[in-house]
Amino acid sequence: MQVYKAPLNDMRFVLLDLLDAGQLAQLPGFEEATPDTITSILEEGAKLCENVLLPLNRSGDEHGCTYENGVVRTPPGFKDAYKAFVEAGWLAMSANPEHGGQGLPELVNFVFEEMVCSSNLAFGNYPLLSKGATALIEVHATPELKSRYVPRLIEGRWSGTMCLTEPQCGTDLGLIRTRAVPTDGGSYRITGTKIFITAGEHDLSENIIHLVLAKLPDAPSGTRGISLFLVPKFMPRADGSLGPRNGVTCAGIEKKMGIHASATCVLNFDEAEGWLIGEPHQGLKCMFTMMNAARLGVGLQGLGIGEAAYQSAVAYAKDRRQGRSLKGAAEPSASADPIIVHPDVRRMLLTQRALNEGARALGYFVALNLDIARKHPDAARREEADDFVQLMTPVVKAFFTDCGSLAANLAVQIHGGHGYIREHGIEQFVRDSRIPQLYEGTNGIQALDLVGRKLGQHNGRLLRRFFHPVTAFVEEHKGDERMAEFIEPLAKGLDRLRNASLTIAGRGLADPEEAGAAATEYLKLFALVAVGYMWARMAKLALAKNGGDNGFHATKLKTARFYMARLMPETSSLFAQLMAGKRTLMEMGADEF
């Protein structure tokens, strides 16, 4: 059975004890974001996710979206859930108050999004796309477009999409064929086909606002010739009411492995009227505003699935009785012991838990820096925070989603045959967790982004935003005997990461394939060290709270020990793999495969 209860105690520990999220109330515009306010908001969000969204997760998967004559309908219950979602203001939480938003920190929204992803990943895609579209329009569109579209997106009356992929191109967007022809009235006529469009058509909102990449008639070749256009499903009148249907239609929905309740559409644009966003031929740069936000959101999908898979596996492991404890019956009066007594089951549960809690700390830390980058009065502090967010975005997207898939598969393993059949709903986690590793740039692309762009950006400045504070933390605590079991593994991992960074930078300058051959292992090495840093910081806090001898903090210390002893050593094998170079990957000819 699918089980989920928002881990509010752990969320509060990370937010208030580890990150001191109360500091956000000192930033201009965030004055109301006090610890008490944040806690109250998250408690209400937990109720919505546990009581409204979670019950629809499995039924939505079983029913799926339906398509008939260009009309897409979401599963039963989704329209009412979406109405409750937007009427309660969840879509407006971190949106700009100038356009009707609540103006709360992105960190608060980040935590809420984790809950949504845990309880109903498919449902969460709809507001995620709208939120990203809103941010892009606010940053890059004209004041007229902002005033016309943003308030209704924030209200949830209208929703948003991002239309990039075409049948012949995914990652290589320079190959797009969609065309935009200017009209005498200042708008453009958009013609082409887009595929894999999440929330491209549905029955949740009264209008859908498509953000479409296309090429102007005079566009240069490749990605330098891409422009961005806003294309509404229905043309809005001056008073905000809906006018005639625009020339965009849904030609079908994909039959997918997972997220069945999330409509993934083929959209045909037939001289649809649209408006340019940003400068001509600068569309990809504008779209990255939405893509980077979406990549962090997709990372949260991995964390959300991982938490739900873990909680479901724990509930089953405590209830399912098979065999006896290896050291003798744990419960002699029962016919068998619960499987949680077995070391290998505990290994799997602790792997899920340690990765989830470590990722949560790192993800919230990134979100905190996102708010600092936007609101801090000191320009240097804003730059520092923005550098960190840029550096960690591919790490969060790739590592969190890989961990979510791992956690889902471990949940099936713990359930045994009952996990493989549909009755318990656990196999849905495996199917749903697979897509976050693919969309918004596959995890291999994230690794290439890390080594190809972030590693050398600003002469290594982004890397220093991570290396300097971690090095300082290690130096500060290396003489503390109580911290030795956490600091020593972190220090070894950090040395490997530093050496790997220098090696890849040097080899990559001479031969880009060398950097590409090491990219995936490097990203995971980076992630393990980053999460290890967060675990060391959490262990320090747990030790300070009554010595970590009982209750919540004692459990936190035990999980930290597991991470350092069982997961952190993987940095050694990853270092060896990436140092092997490209030869064993590239020496085989294509015809030998």
Task: Give a three-class secondary structure readout of 255-267.
Answer: CCCCCCCCCEEEE
C-beta separation of 157 from 206 below 8 A: yes
- Residue 76: strand, helix, or coil: coil
What are the Cα distances from residue 179, in Å, to 30, 90, 164, 213, 267? 42, 36, 13, 9, 14
Distance in angstroms (rounded) separating the CA atoms of residues 89 and 116: 14
pLDDT of residue 550: 74
Residues catalogued as catalytic: 440
Segment (H or E) for 273: strand 264-277
What tens-digit pLDDT sequence spans the chain (593 residues)? 999 999 999 999 999 999 999 999 999 999 999 999 999 999 999 999 999 999 999 999 999 999 999 999 999 999 999 999 999 999 999 999 999 999 999 999 999 999 999 999 999 999 999 999 999 999 999 999 999 999 999 999 999 999 999 999 888 888 999 999 999 999 999 999 999 999 999 999 999 999 999 999 999 998 899 999 999 999 999 888 999 999 999 999 999 999 999 999 999 999 999 999 999 999 988 888 888 888 999 999 999 999 999 999 999 999 999 999 999 999 999 999 999 999 999 999 999 999 999 999 999 999 999 999 999 999 999 999 999 999 999 999 999 999 999 999 999 999 999 999 999 999 999 999 999 999 999 999 999 999 999 999 999 999 999 999 999 999 999 999 999 999 999 999 999 999 999 999 999 999 999 999 999 999 999 999 999 999 999 999 999 987 666 799 999 999 999 999 999 999 999 999 999 999 999 999 999 99
Amino acid at 231: V
C-beta separation of 231 from 269 below 8 A: yes
C-beta separation of 102 from 95 below 8 A: yes
Report strand pairing: 71-73 vs 188-198: unpaired
* CA nearest neighbour of 15 among 535, 365, 388, 299: 365
Q: Which residue stretches of 64-196 are H helix?
A: 78-87, 106-119, 121-140, 143-155
What are the Cα distances from residue 203, in Å, to 75, 206, 491, 495? 10, 7, 52, 53
C-beta separation of 296 from 397 below 8 A: yes
- 147 alpha carbon, distance to own chain's centre: 29
pLDDT of residue 545: 87
pLDDT of residue 294: 87
C-beta separation of 232 from 245 below 8 A: no
- Residue 228: strand, helix, or coil: strand
Report strand pairing: 188-198 vs 179-182: antiparallel
pTM equals 0.97
- In sequence order, the 6+-apart residues with CB closer than 8 A to the CB of 487 are 474, 477, 478, 480, 536
- Ordered by start, the domain boundaries in the chain are 455-585
